[in-house]
Structure 1
Amino acid sequence: MGEPVIAMRGVRADLGSRPVLRGIDLTVRHGEVVALLGANGSGKSTAIRTVIGQVPVSEGEIELFGTERKRFRDWSRVGYVPQRTTAAGGVPATVTEVVSSGRLSRTRFGVFRKADRDAVRQALELVGMADRAKDNVDALSGGQHQRVLIARALASEPELLIMDEPMAGVDLASQEVLARTLRDQVAAGATVLLVLHELGALEPLIDRAVVLRDGCVQHDGPPPRALGQHALPGHDHVHPHSEHEPIRTGLLS
């Protein structure tokens, strides 16, 4: 077993006055690919947002690479891919500009050197978006938006990838590209924690599945084989993307 990259012990978190996490224990070790599964409202996204500090913890401890999260500063080691339906940035930007923002943690005083430009270019190549580098992100499809989000996370050459529903609302071609990209990162030694509604194309990569229900861990072990989202215990899924709802990319959030 590798060294712990993420360690959550007795983590509780509230959104407003509503308890969302009710004492989560979760360890993700170096080189593991761990999927968080569960119905809407089970606490999956909240769990990973506590890890990166977006949601405060009311009780418990979180460590990243053996360091208490409150004292952790080496964020270039962590790549985060938010849900594609988080708030849009609303700022005109090219694909390269968005992906470059993921490299800032590696630069000195925000000055890009050749190694930084090369890392951005390589990240775009990994997700098959090098030919769209100069395009405005507003001209992209939903699947292409998601590829750009992942390239932004890869630009810092992270050791840990945290991804919130990377396959949601993505066309089949982009799903295959994202699965291949993630497979390459895992082969290179990356550790991955990702939220999924179903394993889908990523199933062969998953080492462990952690199923949450009502903010508690219901299962932590081998991934259920060929398990669709509607077969999860207590599943009551309502898709968040109505046909009249605008897609919000989160590219600049």
Structure 2
Amino acid sequence: MMDFFTDLNPVLQALAATLFTWGMTALGAALVFIGKKQNQKAMDGMLAFSGGVMIAASFWSLLAPAIEMAESNGTPSWLPALIGFLLGGLFLMMVDQILPVLEKNDNFLHEIKDKKAKRRTSLLIFSITLHNVPEGLAVGVAFGALAVDFSTGSLSGAIALALGIGIQNFPEGTAVSLPLRRDGMSKKKSFFYGQASGAVEPIAAVAGALAVIFIQPLLPYALSFAAGAMIFVVAKEIIPGSQEKGHVQIASISLMVGFALMMTLDVALG
């Protein structure tokens, strides 16, 4: 099986690797099918948990690699992180302003009746999906580079990167589907949106592998951009939303647990 994989074109290797990462997102999103009855306290805890996952992923999955890439490219290490991070937050702020236009369409997340909840879930889906684009690009670039300088070590590194991102995607899928369920969406649609947030990774990976020379210098900015977008959502919607029903303590603990889990996965998988 491994010999078959190594014989593939690097673009196909990137596609296969990110189909795995997408599958892990779907597996995490499938946790929404466990349990029959909603408990508001538990749902608030899961919303806060998703916030903790997003905060940790913003640094260890996005900002830290962006800083390392900038250093290796000879760019001031802080510059792409600063520019990308602030632009990401600004972009989500603009998206937040146009959401009321989308909300006038009854087909847009129509199962969620509360306008505040609809806006929060819209931003959550958008930011997690946006975060998966540079991750997919990173995998694509890693495999695309093999076409230029193939070695067993570089192949192992690309596979390890895809494996690490895939395992990290499991709690991210959960972090999308369970908050959607909390806000009144059906289990099937919560799962659909949860797994769909990872569907962009194979597309981005193929693009990254095909245009490795052009995309690699932009990766630090793209990673930081996604981090800024995610932190904006956590600060504006996730933390306040998880505490609006009065479950402040469980929300605070859940956020820390989510952060700790994602931090552990990111650091352990390197």
TM over 0.5, yes or no? Answer: no
Higher strand share: 1
TM-score (norm 1): 0.30
| Structure showing greater Rg | 2
Q: With CA pairs under 8 Å and 6+ residues apart, which has the higher RCO, 1 or 2?
A: 2
